[in-house]
Amino acid sequence: MSPPPNALYCQAGGVTAVINATAAAVIETCRGHPDRIGKVFAGSNGILGVLAEDLIDTSYETAETLRALRHTPGGAFGSARFRLGSFEADRRTWDRLHAVFAAHDIRYVFYNGGNGSADTARSLAQFRERFDYPITCVHVPKTVDNDLAVTDCSPGFGSAAKYLAVSLREAAADVASMVASSTKVFILEAMGRHAGWMVAAMGLAADADHHPPHLLLFAEIPFDPADFLARVHASVERFGYCVIGASEGLSDGSGRPVSALPGPHPGEEQFGGVAPYLAHLVHDRLGYKCHWATADYLQRAARHLASATDLAHAEAVGRAAVDFALDGHNGTMPVIVRESDNPYRWRIGMADLDSVATLERRLPHEFIAADRCHITPACRTYLRPLVTGESWPPFRDGLPIHAHLTNHRTPRRLPPWHSP
Amino acid sequence: MSPPPNALYCQAGGVTAVINATAAAVIETCRGHPDRIGKVFAGSNGILGVLAEDLIDTSYETAETLRALRHTPGGAFGSARFRLGSFEADRRTWDRLHAVFAAHDIRYVFYNGGNGSADTARSLAQFRERFDYPITCVHVPKTVDNDLAVTDCSPGFGSAAKYLAVSLREAAADVASMVASSTKVFILEAMGRHAGWMVAAMGLAADADHHPPHLLLFAEIPFDPADFLARVHASVERFGYCVIGASEGLSDGSGRPVSALPGPHPGEEQFGGVAPYLAHLVHDRLGYKCHWATADYLQRAARHLASATDLAHAEAVGRAAVDFALDGHNGTMPVIVRESDNPYRWRIGMADLDSVATLERRLPHEFIAADRCHITPACRTYLRPLVTGESWPPFRDGLPIHAHLTNHRTPRRLPPWHSP
């Protein structure tokens, strides 16, 4: 009897506080089917490692290490920003992937990513027709941006949302105590690109009307400096201070980013810098002392403050992905289906990747208040369960313990790869 | 029999994640001596509220609210950046303070602050001689900067240090997973002004040689762009990435801040902005994709990640301050005395304010490694117990619960005050 075929797990795009919990769930679930799945390989740095035939043999990782992945942020096997071109345009790359799959008898692919990755996963699912190769590819959702279509939310978002809401509430308590003689305006910048989910999450910090944040700047609302300054002034006059949550993707009416550095590749935006821009503006025009924070990777890496709900989602999509694959559901993605808000109830559903890939789920209009700088009760109802529950990692000497993998490489069988 | 005299508690300077734990300890300890201490007033916004005769009567706060202060960041009664001038130069202010103390029979003052505040507390201790008024003033230490003299550490620092070390370790795990196709350099900027304690704390994130941070930029070491860029390049070549912890107070050889905004008052520096400056420099000169974070108030407000050791210190200095006052130790400050590193043992000692006020405790040279960009084992031994232990606050709906005070004002007895 021939040994069962192997599986491949890849992390793709920006990582999250709980993507390794998904990784652990995928690997553990595969281990539960030794008759159907042999080894689980992980691409070192995702699909780049597949192309380079740089495959991590996860069978060398102990059950204890896999459990530790549950409380380890980042992408344990390395991730990649990569988009597979069309079969016609990128044929050499498709051929190489096919060769690596065949060389290592990889017939299950679990591609753990966001929007762009879903498109690549959809391409991998086509290897069945393109090469008559028996692949089953399941996309496993993750993104702090929460902009994946079909699913009620994306694993990774709940923890980043919790981090932002908690951080804003804590920092606002600090600012409130300094207003008499020092800082009057505080700005916290959130990731999330052009989607305002992360900004909306900061709205949860307010547990009563007029509590901070006093002003949310959504990527969806064109930035108007005069209107902004008027609102900041009004908040300082009324409350003594103004706490602001701002999107890194803030742009003016023409779609020009308020503050964007040129990225490393032509035409690629790199976000970050909206908060200092706004602080300078407020200081110059209104004369208020400002403080600002740009949490950047801290907000998507803060496993110490992960949402227990988010962690449960991250594990569930990992387990479901393996079940989907074993049931032959090629080109699908497990999604979170919300059954009720309060009490919060959810289940795993199945989406076809054609209904997911390249779509962007924006913050609904009904989640932004009429004043365009707060969230609505409906938004609060949506967000609350996603940030609920704590899952503290173990600590040693005051710091969280992270998994350390052996990352044992499997021997190469193919000639070296040179990217086109 | 006349009622016992009253006490005053003031928060001063930048607040911390645990200053309210000190406040609770002061008030609770005073309540334990109803025969010796009547009411405990808190200055609304610290000494500014005393001058304005805007006094909070803390007897309206329940025992439950005081317990909740233990897990509430910021300064619950408001703080102030204020420095009392000399008796001769600032006589009108001294007279006003004397009038408020006398009008409300305030004979105990607990002044909870850092370096500048210790000087003001020392002045208040002189009211005994200047006005023949029976004041007993005790300075209660707090500062995230850890730059108070005599004490082994300052309450507030351990929690901020823990926040920075944890955040850097988590963000480094994120960066490490992105290096193949995206971010190669990450910079986390720390507060701490010209003292490098907070930067040193980020060094704790490494639990083995060559683990991140790869580079610490201490305020104590003059910044040399060419040397910096060479080290970043070497780190990326060797490890694939470079994680950097940088001081907000970074300056060049002549003491000129690398990046400092003009503050709201002439001659006053406002920090923040070193990280984006460094990111631009690296991107421009080396072409690496950079991410950066400036945690700002998040690092001193992160009560959710407070160090249990720090919290214990914060409560102990509050209790000791009341004991010192009742024993008549005017012009003193409780300090943390370290008795052993491992196991960590400490006790409360007493310092004379003359030995504390206006002194700045710098990071010792022997805590900075020979390569000038890492910490030494001695530094690690010093820091480790200060960040050890967790003290999670209670959460509701995914967010930490903070105390909400009644902040009941006591009736005024004096004419209004107009500051000079």
Q: Please tell me if residue A415 touches chain B, with a CB cutoff of 8 Å.
A: no
pLDDT at A195 over 70: yes
Q: A319: part of which helix (H) or strand (E)? A: helix A308-326
Residue A138's identity, in one-letter code, is V
Q: Tens of pLDDT along B120-134?
A: 999 999 999 999 999
CB distance B147 to B196 below 8 Å: no
3-state SS record for B115-132: HHHHHHHHHHHCHHHHCC
Report which of B249, B172, B242, B174 is spatially closest to residue B217, judged by C-alpha positions: B249
Concerning whether A145 is annotated as a catalytic residue, the answer is yes
Nearest-Å Rg of the Cα atoms of chain B is 23
Q: Tens of pLDDT along B37-72?
A: 999 999 999 999 999 999 999 999 999 999 999 999
Q: Please tell me if residue B264 touches chain A, with a CB cutoff of 8 Å.
A: yes
Min Cα distance B138 → chain A (Å) is: 22
* Contact call for B173 and A80, based on CB within 8 A: no
Q: What are the distances in angstroms from CA B176 to CA A15, A76, B207, B236, B289?
A: 10, 9, 15, 11, 13
Rounded-to-integer distance, Cα A293 and Cα B163, Å: 14
Selected residues 31-50 of chain B with any CB under 8 Å from a CB in chain A: 45-46, 48-49
Question: Which residue in B304, B384, B387 has the most chain A C-beta atoms within 10 A of its own C-beta, making it the best mutation to test that interface?
Answer: B304
Report which of B29, B106, B122 is spatially closest to residue B322, judged by C-alpha positions: B29
Selected residues 302-321 of chain B with any CB under 8 Å from a CB in chain A: 302-305, 307
Sort out which chain B residues have CB atoms less than 8 A from A283's CB and list them: 261, 264
Q: What is the pLDDT of residue A271?
A: 58
Q: Which two tokens stand for residue A329?
A: 């559901």
Identify the closest residue of chain B to A165 by CA–CA distance: B399
The DSSP line for B44-103 is TTTHHHHHTT-EEEGGGS-HHHHHHHTT--S-TT---------TTTTHHHHHHHHHHHHH
Q: Tens of pLDDT along A261-278?
A: 544 444 455 556 899 999
Are A6-155+304-359+388-400 and A159-302 in the same CATH fold? yes
pLDDT at B271 over 70: no
> What are B109's strand-pairing partners?
B8, B137
| Helix orientation angle between A308-326 and A377-387, rounded to the nearest 10 degrees | 70
Sort out which chain B residues have CB atoms less than 8 A from A83's CB and list them: none
Report which of A138, A249, A149 is spatially closest to residue A190, judged by C-alpha positions: A249
Q: Tens of pLDDT along A118-132?
A: 999 999 999 999 999
Q: What is the mean pLDDT of chain A?
A: 94
Identify the closest residue of chain A to B10 by CA–CA distance: A177
pLDDT at B34 over 90: yes
Identify the closest residue of chain B to A271 by CA–CA distance: B291
* Contact call for A181 and B48, based on CB within 8 A: yes
Q: What is the pLDDT of residue B255?
A: 81
Q: Tens of pLDDT along B236-266?
A: 999 999 999 999 999 988 888 886 554 444 4
Mean pLDDT computed over A218-231: 96
Selected residues 53-72 of chain A with any CB under 8 Å from a CB in chain B: 72
Min Cα distance A205 → chain B (Å) is: 8
pLDDT at B113 over 60: yes
Q: Is the peptide bond before B415 cis (omega within 30 degrees of 0)?
A: no
- Record: fold of A6-155+304-359+388-400: Rossmann fold (3.40.50)
Q: Which two tokens stand for residue A409?
A: 């490489």
pLDDT at A314 over 90: yes
Q: Please tell me if residue A245 touches chain B, with a CB cutoff of 8 Å.
A: no
Q: What is the pLDDT of residue A235?
A: 98
- For strand B106-113 and strand B136-141, is the pairing parallel, antiparallel, or unpaired? parallel
* Range with lowest mean pLDDT among A19-23, A269-273, A354-358, B361-365: A269-273
Confidence of residue B360 (pLDDT cuts 50, 70, 90): confident
Report which of B125, B148, B121, B144 is spatially closest to residue B136, judged by C-alpha positions: B125
Q: Tens of pLDDT along A365-385?
A: 999 999 999 999 999 999 999
* Contact call for A175 and B395, based on CB within 8 A: no
Rounded-to-integer distance, Cα A396 and Cα A258, Å: 42
Sort out which chain B residues have CB atoms less than 8 A from A289's CB and list them: 263-264, 270
Rounded-to-integer distance, Cα B304 and Cα A342, Å: 26
Rounded-to-integer distance, Cα A413 and Cα A170, Å: 54
What letter would DSSP give residue B319?
H
Q: What is the pLDDT of residue A265?
A: 47
- The number of C-beta contacts closer than 8 angstroms across A and B is 244
Sort out which chain B residues have CB atoms less than 8 A from A273's CB and list them: 276
3-state secondary structure of B270: strand
**Residue B330 CB neighbour total at 10 angstroms:** 20
| Helix orientation angle between B19-31 and B308-326, rounded to the nearest 10 degrees | 40
Task: Give pTM, 2 decimals.
Answer: 0.96
CB distance B402 to B73 below 8 Å: yes
Rounded-to-integer distance, Cα B314 and Cα B156, Å: 7
Sort out which chain A residues have CB atoms less than 8 A from B296's CB and list them: 171, 186, 291-293
Question: Which residue in B81, B399, B407, B417 has the most chain A C-beta atoms within 10 A of its own C-beta, making it the best mutation to test that interface?
Answer: B399
* Contact call for B73 and A170, based on CB within 8 A: yes
> What are B217's strand-pairing partners?
B246
Terminal-to-terminal C-alpha distance of chain A: 39
Q: Which two tokens stand for residue A140?
A: 């496993």
Sort out which chain A residues have CB atoms less than 8 A from B76's CB and list them: 177
Rounded-to-integer distance, Cα A222 and Cα A250, Å: 7
Identify the closest residue of chain B to A14 by CA–CA distance: B178
Q: What are the distances in angstroms from CA A328 to CA A134, A136, B24?
A: 10, 6, 61
Q: A138: part of which helix (H) or strand (E)? A: strand A136-141
Identify the closest residue of chain B to A13 by CA–CA distance: B178
Q: Which two tokens stand for residue A116?
A: 């762009």
CATH 3.30.70.1280 fits B6-155+304-360+391-400, yes or no: no
Q: Model ipTM?
A: 0.96
Q: Which two tokens stand for residue A384?
A: 């609350």
Q: Please tell me if residue A397 touches chain B, with a CB cutoff of 8 Å.
A: yes
Residue A337's identity, in one-letter code, is V
Confidence of residue B226 (pLDDT cuts 50, 70, 90): very high
Question: Which residue in A44, A189, A241, A296 has the most chain B C-beta atoms within 10 A of its own C-beta, making it the best mutation to test that interface?
Answer: A296
- Domain boundaries in chain B? 6-155+304-360+391-400, 157-303
Q: What is the CATH number of domain A159-302?
A: 3.40.50.460
Min Cα distance A151 → chain B (Å) is: 21
Q: What is the pLDDT of residue B133?
A: 97
Q: Which two tokens stand for residue A125?
A: 């699912």
Backbone angles phi, psi at B305, to 5 degrees: -115, 25
Any idea of the CA torsion for A78, A113, B294, B361, to the nearest 10 degrees?
-40
Nearest to B398 among A176, A263, A389 (CB): A389
Mean pLDDT computed over B206-230: 94
- For strand B261-262 and strand B185-190, is the pairing parallel, antiparallel, or unpaired? unpaired
Residue B403's identity, in one-letter code, is A
Q: Which of B57, B90, B95, B145 is catalytic?
A: B145
Nearest to A166 among B17, B181, B304 (CB): B304
Pick the CATH number of B157-303 from 3.40.50.460, 3.30.2320.50, 2.40.10.10, 1.20.140.10: 3.40.50.460
* Contact call for A177 and B76, based on CB within 8 A: yes
Mean pLDDT computed over B383-394: 98
- For strand B6-11 and strand B106-113, is the pairing parallel, antiparallel, or unpaired? parallel
CB distance B130 to B65 below 8 Å: no
Confidence of residue B207 (pLDDT cuts 50, 70, 90): confident
Min Cα distance B145 → chain A (Å) is: 16
Report which of B251, B232, B249, B250 is spatially closest to residue B241, judged by C-alpha positions: B232
